[in-house]
Amino acid sequence: MRILCISAQKPDSTGSGVYLAETVRSMIAQGHEVAVIAGIDRDDAPQLPAGAEFFPVRFRMDALPFPVCGMSDVMPYEATRYRDMTPDMVDAFRSAFAQRIREVLLAFKPDAVICHHLYLVCSVATEVLDELAGENWSPGWVRSDSPSGKRPCSIWGISHSTDLRQLRNHTLEHHRIFDAVRRLDGIMALHEAQKAEIVELFSIDPAIVRVVGTGYSAHEFAPRPALRAANPLRVLYVGKLCRAKGVESLVRAFNLLPFDPETVELCLVGGYSDQEQYDRIVEVANSCRFPVLFHGRVSQDDLVLAYNMSHVFVLPSFFEGLPLVTVEALASGCRAVVTELPGVRPWLETSLPGAPVAFVAPPTIVGTDTPVEEDLPAFEQRLADALADQLREAAKHPLHGTGFDTTAVSWDSLAARMVNLLH
């Protein structure tokens, strides 16, 4: 197949960026031709898989004189929040992406389009394809029956949950986004709970929403027990350093652990964009009686090493789609402590039966990702208790492998599921 993947944001940063890049890599390895349209800043040079045709839409240029738009309000790099966009900025965004999408559609002639995030760029792509449905184009491009008529090809959207959060938190372009999503040929969801949310939010037929899950790089993320020292025991967090990810609460919970300070350490891997939130995390870390190590954003090779040098992985988020980092950590031989958020536990228990994961009930959440302040001390105690249990197990029973089958959650398996849907 010839597949066009579209994202409004950087294709090699954040979980959804990794998801796009790795599924593209697997699709190419499986014999498909893949092109990518993505938003990048003026001086960016993203690393995409070999064989992918890349067509950037550059921000901080005359046509788009502002940073790349971020699907989360807090990104690991400087980004424009959708809620802050003016009508002129939205018009510029739509015009730049519409022009690029139309150019690539006519030149590449895909059999199918996949839009990452059910949001602004998805509505642009759907509108461009519907415009082409009423026009003539070169022979050899097969028309596809769709909700809006004879499009040149089918178009699918995939949700990464941050898009649903944006739609619930403000009304930017609501009408056009909702209208476009309802006219997609199909929607891919990460898990059953997210599928239910999509059906409810857009009032659409559940039959067009298919659960595909997530994946990981099986050739990179694998246990290397020799790298995991017996002392100190290391707890690892990977992700954005911000309040919505629960990082401040994690450091507070760490201070509650019933261990000697020299026996356990916390390692934080990830970038930040909100200076105030980051400074607060550093302040809390400085008063922690255990070592808290800030490693910033790291390369893929260093991330592989970080997992394999750690005993317990922790993800204390107040909001998640389907956390790829948890799968990578488990596949690397870590135990895990994860906030029990909608859809995450059933998917992990079904996809990775027997994985050593402890789930922690979250605090009461207001909106999509804001914890009730009064609930945080109890949450932090639950988090500390779960971490203590997993650390004791790690000390008594070091893992020399995963103990479970990860085949179903490889990128190759995911890409094959996605392509089967496109067919």
Query: Which amino acid would we find at residue 362?
Result: P
Task: Kindly state the average pLDDT of the residues 254-281.
Answer: 95
CA 228 to chain centre: 27
Which residues of the chain are in CATH 3.40.50.2000 domains?
Answer: 2-216+411-422, 225-396
Look at residue 137 in the predicted model and tell me its pLDDT. 60
Task: Kindly state the average pLDDT of the residues 271-283.
Answer: 93
Of the listed ranges 19-23, 296-300, 340-344, the one predicted with least confidence:
340-344
**In Å, what is the CA distance from 367 to each residue of 7, 165, 264, 371, 377?**
26, 9, 35, 9, 20
pTM: 0.80
Which two structure tokens, joined as six digits, stand for 129?
């394809």
Q: What angle do CA 199, 363, 379 make, to 5 degrees?
A: 145
pLDDT value at 80 more than 80: yes
Stronger pLDDT, 145 or 63, i.e. the higher one:
63
Q: Specify the residue for token string 């290391």.
A: 234
pLDDT value at 330 more than 80: yes
> With contact defined as beta carbons under 8 Å apart, do 325 and 348 qualify?
no
pLDDT (tens digit, 9 = 90+) per residue, 85-96?
999 999 999 999
**What average pLDDT does the chain have?**
92
**Angstrom distance (rounded) from CA 235 to CA 344:** 21
pLDDT value at 139 more than 60: no
Look at residue 75 in the predicted model and tell me its pLDDT. 86
**Angstrom distance (rounded) from CA 1 to CA 225:** 40
Per cent of the chain over pLDDT 70 is 96
The string of DSSP letters for 346-395 reads: HHHHHHSTT--EEEEPPPPEETTTEE-GGGHHHHHHHHHHHHHHHHHHHH
**Angstrom distance (rounded) from CA 192 to CA 195:** 5
pLDDT (tens digit, 9 = 90+) per residue, 208-244?
999 998 888 888 888 888 888 889 999 999 999 999 9
**Angstrom distance (rounded) from CA 23 to CA 17:** 10
**Angstrom distance (rounded) from CA 254 to CA 35:** 44
pLDDT value at 323 more than 90: no
pLDDT value at 6 more than 70: yes
**In Å, what is the CA distance from 3 to each residue of 104, 157, 217, 409?**
11, 13, 21, 21
pLDDT (tens digit, 9 = 90+) per residue, 50-77?
999 999 999 999 999 999 999 988 888 8
Look at residue 149 in the predicted model and tell me its pLDDT. 57
Question: Which band of pLDDT confidence, cut at 50, 70 and 90, is reported for residue 312?
Answer: very high
Question: Which band of pLDDT confidence, cut at 50, 70 and 90, is reported for residue 146?
Answer: low
pLDDT value at 138 more than 60: no
Question: Which band of pLDDT confidence, cut at 50, 70 and 90, is reported for residue 145?
Answer: low
**Angstrom distance (rounded) from CA 223 to CA 246:** 27
**Angstrom distance (rounded) from CA 410 to CA 219:** 9
Task: Kindly state the average pLDDT of the residues 21-39.
Answer: 97
Domain 2-216+411-422's class? alpha beta
pLDDT value at 134 more than 80: no
**Closest CA relative to residue 333, chosen from 236, 234, 395, 400:** 400
Domain 225-396's class? alpha beta
**Angstrom distance (rounded) from CA 407 to CA 97:** 36
Q: Among the ranges 23-32, 368-377, 401-410, which has the highest mean pLDDT value?
A: 23-32
Question: Using omega within 30 degrees of 0 as the cis cutoff, is the peptide bond preceding 232 cis?
Answer: yes
pLDDT value at 103 more than 70: yes
